[in-house]
Amino acid sequence: MKKLLAILMAATLAVSVLAGCGASSSSAAASTQTTPASSAAATTTTGDGTLKLVLSTTDGSSKDDQVPSPWLNRTLATNLMFRSLFIADSDLTSVTPDLADSYEISDDSMTYTITLKDGLKWSDGEAMTADDVIFSIETATKAAVVNSIYTAAFAKITDMKADGNVITIKLNTPYAALLDVLAQFAILPKHSLEKADPLTMESDAFWKDPVTSGMYVLDELNVGNYFTLKLNENYEGTAPKIEKVTVSFVSDYLTAAQSGNADYVYGNAADMVEALSAMDNFTANEVNVLFYKYFIFNMKGTDGNDNAAMQNVEVRKALIEAIDRAALATLYPNATVLSSGVPDSYPSYNGFSYEFDAEKAKADLIAAGYDMSRTLRICYYNNDQTSIDLINTVVYYLEQTGLTVEATLSNDGTTDLFTTRAYDIGFKGKSAFSLEEWYSEYISDDALFSKIFGGDTSFDTLVDDLYAATDEATRTDVLKKLQDMEQKNVYKVPVFTVGTYVFTSDNVKVPSGVKFCNPLYMCDLDFANWEVA
């Protein structure tokens, strides 16, 4: 009944479909596009043995005029081009060497000694060296657009040295997840990027013709449409059976699958999951992923750009009280409502929950001195019908408190949420590497979230303690303290976690025993032995 109510409410509402949150444009009715809620890739095949991947640009991690950087999200396309020191298993919890040949960890877990394989080469024939590794790590700490799992880990490094093929990394405190993080972090070529500005590196000219280390290298870039990959002749590993890959920039993955042109589709939008589950030529694989859907508040930035309307924590609490998150959860497959980064079923959950109370929300907004006459602005970037229905329902709930609400669909979520910032509440998704990744967004020097949370340092020590925890009792204690702090500050609020699926068609042959992992990360899928019809 709640799901039906939410959909009926959504059908009566309209959203503004704009080029960017806060931009001027005309209002339009809710879109009927059916793009997955994530920015992952889908694949299609043709008779010539070409594997076709597709990427979406709506979340800002990819642009349609270049190869996307792997430092924000990994995708199948970038995983085929850029390698890491290690490669993770499907659970993203253990690693084996990839670019590395071997490694040692000191007894105090403060020093890592990593030896690169001999004879590694970049796709342009240049030798890969330990200097490339050190350059990449140092540059990532300065980059403006980079995944928080990297900045959180690399902030603990006090010294790095290279001696031939041997890299020595020293930490200021134990960091239990360092090897797991290094299994995700793509090493990039120093000789190609050392003159690039880290603050704009994700859009550097390098990405129009990147030097790579993986199985494939760029063959052709057709701006606004696609890029193609060919085998990397300097790749020292087992050559893949698939010789050609095409990666197209599209906005509708489901249509590709329904037309018989997709072999691999990843997403969690209810319309997509329902449609593909009904197709006889697709097999659904549910992936064990912490995929959060959550609200963020645009409060204050380290750049001095403050949003006075969202400064009062009582206002932020009241806005969450006004929204029935349990009703929203009915729109997604296997959605589980939660009130912190820790799911309620985990032993480390602290027991707190946000309660829906529209009348109290209205009274609390007035008591907090909020200007009820101003327009509350919502920014979101997923253009699938499920997301649009959800946002329309959120608008409905907020309007019941007497607020005027404007919801804007962004075509570049990263820019609009963290740079343009013409909004009050943002709605986004996060396919998290671990609980640590959820909490690392609170770190004061996080490259993105410091722009809306103001560089608050109050979480830093606890997040450090979480990463350093080596026993379950300590980890549980730290997680409960972190939950208490995030529920006190209300900088971001999870709505729910959602079931995530990888759908594979009968046109692609995946080796037996392969277990799909979170597709926004890198793991061993035995891709060299994939085949297409």
Q: Say how far apart CA 48 and CA 179 lie, in whole Å.
A: 39
Q: Which candidate, 485, 470, 492, 412, places its Cα nearest to that of 148? A: 492
- Options 3.30.379.10, 3.40.50.1820, 3.10.105.10, 1.10.10.10; CATH for 2-30+290-497 is 3.10.105.10
Question: Mean pLDDT across the stretch 319-343?
Answer: 94
pLDDT at residue 256, as a whole number? 77
Phi/psi of residue 138, each to 5°?
-65, -40
H-run or E-run covering 363: helix 358-367
Tokens for 271, please give them.
Answer: 């319309």
Mean pLDDT of all residues in 379-403: 95
To the nearest 10°, the Cα dihedral for 88, 475, 337, 417?
-70
**Stretch among 15-19, 171-175, 294-298 having the lowest mean pLDDT:** 15-19
Q: Which residue has the tokens 């603990």?
A: 156
What are the DSSP calls for 304-321, one per residue?
S-B-GGG--HHHHHHHHH
The DSSP secondary structure of 416-463, one letter per residue, reads IIIII---SEEEEEEEESSHHHHHHTTSTT-TTTHHHHTT--TTHHHH
Higher pLDDT pick, 314 / 500: 314
Cβ(68)–Cβ(61) under 8 Å?
A: yes
Q: What does the pLDDT look like over 180-193, one tens digit per residue?
A: 999 999 999 999 99
Burial of 92 (0-12, 13-18, 19+ CB in 10 A): buried
Q: For residue range 182-226, what is the model confidence (pLDDT) as tens digits? A: 999 999 999 999 999 999 999 999 999 999 999 999 999 999 999
Positive or negative, the Cα torsion across 470, 476, 479, 485? negative
Residue 3: the pLDDT is: 44
Residue 54: pLDDT band with limits 50, 70, 90: confident
The pLDDT of residue 6 is 43
Residue 8: pLDDT band with limits 50, 70, 90: very low
- For position 52, what pLDDT does the model report? 84
Question: Is 17's pLDDT higher than 80?
Answer: no
Q: Model confidence over 85-94: pLDDT tens digits?
A: 999 998 888 9
Nearest to 296 by CA among 185, 381, 188: 381
* Other residues' Cβ atoms within 10 Å of the Cβ of residue 26: 7
- pLDDT score at 41: 46
**In the chain, what are the domain boundaries?**
2-30+290-497, 42-80+214-288+500-532, 86-193
Separation of alpha carbons 441 and 179, rounded Å: 20
Cβ atoms 106, 242 nearer than 8 A: no
Closest among 362, 366, 355 to 324, alpha carbons compared: 355
Report pLDDT for 47. 54
* Predicted structure pTM score: 0.76
Which stretch of 35-44, 309-318, 373-382, 404-413 has the lowest confidence by average pLDDT? Answer: 35-44
Q: Give the span between the Cα atoms of 46 and 532, in whole angstroms.
A: 8
Asked if residue 20 has pLDDT above 50, the reply is yes
Q: Which residues pair with 230 in a beta bridge?
A: 217, 244
pLDDT at 422 over 70: yes
Q: Which CATH architecture has domain 42-80+214-288+500-532?
A: 3-Layer(aba) Sandwich (3.40)
- Hey, what CATH class is 86-193 in? alpha beta
Res 29 pLDDT > 80 = no
* Closest alpha carbon to 483 in 329, 318, 348, 283: 348
Distance CA 310, CA 5 (A): 29
Asked whether the beta carbons of 444 and 456 are under 8 A apart, the reply is: yes
Read off the pLDDT of each residue in 163-178 and give the average, rounded to a whole number: 94
Q: What is the pLDDT of residues 235-288, one digit of tens each?
A: 999 999 999 999 888 777 888 788 877 788 888 888 888 898 999 998 898 888
